Amino acid sequence: MNKKIKLLIIAGARPNFMKVAPIIQQIRRHSADVANYGTQLEYRLIHTGQHYDEKMSHIFFDELGISAPDINLGVGSGSHAEQTANVMTQFEPICLQEKPDWVVVVGDVNSTMACTLVCAKLGIKVAHVEAGLRSFDRSMPEEVNRIVTDALADLLLTPSVDGDENLKREGIPDWKIDLVGNVMIDALTLNLEKARASQVLKKLQLKKKSFVYVTLHRPSNVDEKVGLTTIMYELKRIADDIPVVFPMHPRTRKMCGQYGISLDNNKGLRILEPIGYHDSLCLTEMARFILTDSGGLQEESTYFRTPCLTLRPNTERPITVTLGSNKLTNIEVLASDINEVLNRRTEIGQIPPYWDGRTSERIVASLIHAS
Ligand code: UD1
């Protein structure tokens, strides 16, 4: 019997692109495999347009080898309500027209939640990749997105066992949950060779294991004047001792401008435009340590066993702390945490189970099984 499954795959913001790329590659591999057990997979890639700049979006399509999206909803920036509502009103007619069997959403951005809500009302099944992560901090917009998406999704594909536990505690039945592993690590392993060929260290005149790689963009760190000023002051101080590379997210740059915080590069502090995926992986592997508030970097540094200090009071990725190389920090204890990191080995922690580069295979198998 020949079964056909039609998927719409959603990507909206920067961290989504690395997650959809290996899934698309696996779908293509499945379609090319003559022994695909009679199941045909067909997909369309939908870009909501939440991120739209060359350096926040297009560059990743080129680097990850994903062809241009079949449909771009072009929603752009806005308040949370505006952005969510715009994705919903643009996405609903696409669903009605395309009639997919499944919509596959990834991560925890506004586009993830908005598309899930549309499907729930239309009776279209949703598979959530990276389900079950919880920071237990509802002041984070992403936490609200995670809770809503997981409550409505039909298939919850988790990256680690804590995800399963969180979902079960919230009353999600076992049969909806599948521990498939971390798809970010599929993207990482697929791109490792290219990342290692990156010229970024040479370009920035940095030496292996003797610089800090910084990324900060969370509203809780960058949206308030006192907090952001203190962070930037602290970065300048760190840069007196060890070079600091800081590719700056547009949100952070906008807030620095608004608060009159100088972005002049001093001796050791290098503030850059956002960088591409291969350069970022290269910096993550080669840094002495990472200072970040990004979810993806907590995971990538865990894979490389590069020490990571996460400037947040909590993380939805606790396995990066219990097993991996991650430690939560705050501005008061940052100096002593850095001191401690510099006095430890350059490689720490372990790689969690199922972070093996084969998650997209398990995702596709799970989708077929659930259809
Ligand atoms: C979004 C996600 C966050 C993710 C981050 C990764 C939500 C709630 N947040 O946050 O989880 O970690 O993406 O980058 O979905 N901007 C540009 N160019 C762009 C995109 C945005 O200049 O291509 C500027 C705009 O001024 C915009 C601001 O950045 O107002 C913030 O963008 P937005 O998508 O609202 O949230 P992020 O902070 O990027």
Q: Give catalytic residue positions.
A: 217
Task: Please report the pLDDT score of residue 38 as a whole number.
Answer: 78
- Ligand 1, CB within 6 Å, residue ranges: 13-15, 50-53, 56-57, 77, 108-110, 141-142, 217, 249-251, 254
Please determine, for residue 274, whether its predicted confidence score (pLDDT) is greater than 70: yes
Fold of 193-342: Rossmann fold (3.40.50)
Report the distance separating Cα 302 and Cα 309, nearest Å. Answer: 11
Instruction: Work out which ligand 1 atom sits closest to the CA atom of 57.
Output: 23
Task: Please report the pLDDT score of residue 35 as a whole number.
Answer: 66
- Residue of the CA atom closest to atom 21 of ligand 1: 51
332 dihedral zone (left: phi>0; alpha: psi -120 to 50; beta) = alpha
- Residue of the CA atom closest to atom 22 of ligand 1: 250
Residues 293-317 pLDDT 10s: 999 999 999 999 999 999 999 999 9
Distance 276 CA to ligand 1 centre (A): 16
Task: Please report the pLDDT score of residue 90 as a whole number.
Answer: 98
Predicted structure pTM score: 0.95
Q: Which helix (H) or strand (E) holds 364?
A: helix 359-370
Please determine, for residue 355, whether its predicted confidence score (pLDDT) is greater than 80: yes
Over residues 260-277, mean pLDDT: 90
Average pLDDT, the chain: 95
Task: Please report the pLDDT score of residue 56 as a whole number.
Answer: 93
Task: Please report the pLDDT score of residue 1 as a whole number.
Answer: 58
- Residue of the CA atom closest to atom 18 of ligand 1: 53
Amino acid at 23: I
Nearest to 140 by CA among 226, 77, 217: 217
The per-residue DSSP string of 314-353 comes to --S-THHHHTSSEEE--TTTHHHHHHHHHTS-SS-S-PPT
Over residues 162-188, mean pLDDT: 98
Distance 33 CA to ligand 1 centre (A): 38
| Three-point CA angle 39, 43, 49, nearest 5° | 160
Report the distance separating Cα 236 and Cα 241, nearest Å. Answer: 9
Which range has the worst mean pLDDT, 120-134, 190-204, 215-229, 332-346?
A: 332-346
Structure tokens at 168: 């079960």
| C-alpha pair distances (Å), 106 with each of 63, 171, 203 | 19, 21, 33
- Residue of the CA atom closest to atom 27 of ligand 1: 77
Task: Please report the pLDDT score of residue 70 as a whole number.
Answer: 97
Residue for token digits 């190389």?
325
* Domain ranges across the chain: 3-181+355-370, 193-342
Q: Which residues pair with 25 in a beta bridge?
A: none
Structure tokens at 237: 């101080």
Task: Please report the pLDDT score of residue 134 as a whole number.
Answer: 98
Which range has the worst mean pLDDT, 28-37, 104-113, 185-194, 256-265?
A: 28-37
Query: Predicted confidence band at 37 (pLDDT cuts at 50, 70, 90)?
Result: low
Please determine, for residue 266, whether its predicted confidence score (pLDDT) is greater than 80: no
Over residues 7-19, mean pLDDT: 97
The reply to whether 193-342 shares the fold of 3-181+355-370 is yes
| C-alpha pair distances (Å), 371 with each of 3, 32, 75, 142, 234 | 9, 20, 31, 28, 52
Distance 216 CA to ligand 1 centre (A): 12
Please determine, for residue 220, whether its predicted confidence score (pLDDT) is greater than 80: yes
Report the distance separating Cα 15 and Cα 60, nearest Å. Answer: 10
Please determine, for residue 265, whether its predicted confidence score (pLDDT) is greater than 80: no
Task: Please report the pLDDT score of residue 39 as a whole number.
Answer: 87
CATH code reported for the domain at 3-181+355-370: 3.40.50.2000
Please determine, for residue 291, whether its predicted confidence score (pLDDT) is greater than 80: yes
Distance 359 CA to ligand 1 centre (A): 26
Over residues 74-96, mean pLDDT: 97
Question: Strand 326-328 relative to strand 308-310: parallel, antiparallel, unpaired?
Answer: parallel
Q: Residues 57, 215, 302, 325: what is their CA dihedral angle, to the nearest 10 degrees? A: -170
| C-alpha pair distances (Å), 285 with each of 21, 33, 110, 328, 357 | 21, 34, 29, 19, 17
In the chain, the percentage of residues whose pLDDT exceeds 70 is 99
